[in-house]
Structure 1
Amino acid sequence: MNLRSRPAKDRILDAANRLFYSDGIRAVSVDAIAAKAGITKKTLYYHFKSKDDLIEAYLASRDQPNLTLFKTWFDEADGGLADKVEAIFRNLAVSARHPKWKGCGFLRTAAELANMPGHPAMKVGAAHKKKFEAWLSDVFTRQNLADPEDLARHIVLLMDGAFSTVLVHRDAAYVDSAGRAAKALVAGGRRRS
């Protein structure tokens, strides 16, 4: 299928995904997105009333695919619960070693919008992180672990810390280390009585 045969809105989101992720939301202009999508700026504004709306849609379009990917890595991993949690980190470390990897798009966007806590994209990013945490909590609850919400929060902190540290040091071994810590936390979790 050639580029022009896809709906304009899909082409705009694809272009926004590529450019915002690779270069950051502030560095990328609406003109650049329109050009990458093969449409006019007027067409872009027909589908998205502002750049802020496009940033929000960009993150929303990454939400379910990212959550699905984490769940797939978890489900396909061998071993027990702790091994499956570590597998999420192990797969993230593989991704982080790719030359085009730029970290977590949600965290990078939040950093760029830190002075705008009410921005719609900040709400999308926060909701995404909460969905991942809630999913982990549900997994831990079904495994009868005590304090599943607290354990899920610890895992999220390890993951987001690993994302940030890898961007600073450009060393995916930090994700591997965070994965080992997550595995130890889950393995050491006590069962509810």
Structure 2
Amino acid sequence: MGTAETSRRITMTPAARRALEAAERLFYERGIHAVGVDLIAAEAGVTKKTLYDRFGSKEQIVVEYLADRDERWRAFLARHLDAATPVPAARVTAVFDASRAWAAEYSSKGCSMVNAHAEISDPSHPAYAIITGQKQWMLALFTDLARDITPDGAGCLGRTLMLLHEGALVAHGLNSFEDPIGHAREQARALVMHLDG
């Protein structure tokens, strides 16, 4: 399920792009509910009127923030998968490698979708479908990768890989222990090598 299917998107002007970049940084660092439109406008160097003219509401800024991160993550992951060898185990570990690299560069506080879900749990919120849509997409990806390893057990293996991946993202955000994504990668690798062997 793509983000374009789940939510209305706006056309970005330079001022809107600056506002979105400010909103992304602020929402991720401080939380969505803690950041107001006044602060986003001030950080972006635009007027509050410009924000409302372009986005219409704070809810739409949240939609754009999450949809933009989702699109960038999918493109980032696609590059890692494209660079991986066609060996099924290598493609599975490429997902964890991508997450590890993404976390190091963009997600010091954990998964933005998990964090956003802690604040947006109402299915009627326009950003809710982006949050859940990304996780459904990840599960479908893991299930597709699992099909190359165990066609009859793809659903079960896909869910197991998803749990390893999501647990690692949460542990990373909480700083529970050193390199949880790397640890999850090795567990996923051992599991798929066992099943593929």
User: TM-score when scaled to structure 1?
Assistant: 0.82
* 1:112-131 correspondence to structure 2 within 5 Å: 112-114=119-121, 116-131=122-137
Deviations 1:22-74 (A, max 9, x none): 22212211111112222100110112222122111211111221112122222
The corresponding residue for 1:23 is: 30
Q: Alignment partner of 2:195: what SS? A: coil
The corresponding residue for 1:66 is: 73
| Residue ranges of structure 2 left out of the alignment (5+ in a row) | 1-12
Q: Alignment partner of 1:124: what SS? A: helix
Letter aligned with residue 165 of structure 1: A
The corresponding residue for 1:139 is: 145
Q: Alignment partner of 1:39: what SS? A: coil
Q: Alignment partner of 2:168: what SS? A: helix
The corresponding residue for 2:20 is: 13
Is residue 169 of structure 1 aligned with residue 161 of structure 2? no
Is residue 178 of structure 1 aligned with residue 193 of structure 2? no
Q: Give the Å deviation of 1:118.
A: 2.8
Q: Give the Å deviation of 1:141.
A: 3.3
The corresponding residue for 1:49 is: 56
1:37 aligned to which of 39, 44, 61: 44
| Residue ranges of structure 1 left out of the alignment (5+ in a row) | 1-5
User: Number of matched residues?
Assistant: 185
Q: Give the Å deviation of 1:178.
A: 0.9
Distance in 2 between residues matched to 1:129 and 1:76, nearest whole Å: 23
Q: Give the Å deviation of 1:106.
A: 0.6
CA contact (8 A) 1:30 1:51 kept: yes
Is residue 89 of structure 1 aligned with residue 99 of structure 2? no
Is residue 110 of structure 1 aligned with residue 117 of structure 2? yes
CA contact (8 A) 1:140 1:148 kept: yes
Deviations 1:148-182 (A, max 9, x none): 23322222211111111122235342111111122
The corresponding residue for 2:156 is: 150
Q: Between 87-96 and 154-163, report the one with greater CA deviation.
A: 87-96
Is residue 159 of structure 1 aligned with residue 159 of structure 2? no
Q: Give the Å deviation of 1:113.
A: 2.0
CA contact (8 A) 2:149 2:196 kept: no
C-alpha RMSD of matched pairs (Å)? 2.5
